[in-house]
Structure 1
Amino acid sequence: MKKAALRKEFLQKRKEADERWLVEKNALITQNLEKYVQDEHFKTLHTFLPQLGSREIDTFFIIESFRITFPTMRIAAPYIIPGTREMEHFLVTPFTHLVVNQWKIPEPDPVSSEKVRPEEIDIVLVPLLAFDRKGYRVGYGGGYYDRFLPQTRPDCIKMGLSLFEEVDEIQDVDEYDIPLDLCITPTRTYDFKN
């Protein structure tokens, strides 16, 4: 299937998902992510923040859980520079003031938050709607992460989080699409590096 069709299909699946199902799947994704992270030595994790009302994966739940389990880990989130397709990155602490942008996505306030450079990031949690067996993903179509990921170090882990399992193939992958290293779902961790 092509990206546009997959985007439509998976947005619909998410919309139709039962609230209890979503809470359960979020908890399983968080558990699987914690299992993966505990064997690594990540200093800085970058995560997207969920769009309000979109039924996206609840990364606030992940952040709260990681603050307890990995208290020394720094957590960063993106801020979209208005009028561009570029992002800056700021630490998210219990004291970070979040502002909601025009797409209803909470972001760290760039005026009062501590900036993080892309090369400081060890692992990026990448938003997606669907992913395939080769690690390619269908995002929301803005290209923000396709611009951001090349700014990170070559050893930075690019990890998708998905409520649903993989599709066979995304047919219209292009040279700007960056494959994921891993993707975590409620049932398993897919590793595309091997």
Structure 2
Amino acid sequence: MEKSILRAEYLKKRMDLTQDEIVAKNNAITENLKLLLAGQEIKTIHIFLPQHGKVEIDTWQIISLLQNSYPPIAIATPRIIPGTKEMEHFLLKPETNLIENRWKIPEADPETSVKIEPQIIDAVLIPLLAFDKKGFRAGYGGGYYDRFLVQCKPDVVKIGLSFFEAEDKIDGLDRFDVAMNYCVTPFGIVQF
């Protein structure tokens, strides 16, 4: 199925989830991610922050898990550079001041936060709407993560997070699409 069709379909599937389903799926994703992280050597992990007012994976729950269970792991979050399709990255600390961007996504204040380079990141949690059995994904269509992932070191662990299971195949991929190593769902961990 084409990316544009998948985007529309999966946005609707998300909107159709009940609050109880959202909570249960977030809890299961967090538990499954904990299992995956237990076997990884990670010093710095990159995590997207959920958009206010949308049905997205509750990465705040994951951040809480990391801070409580893996305190040595540094957490980084993205900031979209205004007027571009590029992101910069900042450490997320208890004192980090967050400011909502125009899409209502919280971002670290670049004036008061610690900026890091993509090459020091060991793992990236990737937002997506749908993914396929080869590890490719349909995101929101901006290409931000595909551009970011090629700036990371070659062995960065790319982990998608999804409320739903894999599609057989996503059509319309191009040479810029970057495959994931894993996708964590409420149903388990898919490795590619």
Q: TM-score, normalised by structure 1?
A: 0.98
Deviation at 1:188, TM superposition (A): 1.0
Aligned residues: 192
1:11 equivalent in structure 2: 11
- Cα distance in 2 for partners of 1:73, 1:33 equals 14
2:131 equivalent in structure 1: 131
1:47 equivalent in structure 2: 47
1:175 and 2:154 aligned: no
Q: Which moved more, 1:34-43 or 1:158-167?
A: 34-43
Structure 1: stretches of 5+ with no match in the other structure: none
SS at structure 1 position matched to 2:147:
helix
1:62 equivalent in structure 2: 62
Deviation at 1:116, TM superposition (A): 1.2
1:95 and 2:100 aligned: no
- Cα distance in 2 for partners of 1:176, 1:39 equals 29
1:186 equivalent in structure 2: 186
Deviation at 1:93, TM superposition (A): 1.1
- Cα distance in 2 for partners of 1:187, 1:93 equals 30
Deviation at 1:179, TM superposition (A): 0.6
Letter in 2 for 1:139: G
SS at structure 2 position matched to 1:13:
helix
SS at structure 2 position matched to 1:90:
strand
Identical aligned residues as a percent: 52
Structure 2: stretches of 5+ with no match in the other structure: none
Q: TM-score, normalised by structure 2?
A: 0.99
Deviation at 1:39, TM superposition (A): 1.5
Deviation at 1:122, TM superposition (A): 0.2
1:111 equivalent in structure 2: 111
1:72-114 CA-to-partner distances (Å, cap 9, x unmatched) read 1000000000000110000111111100000111111111111
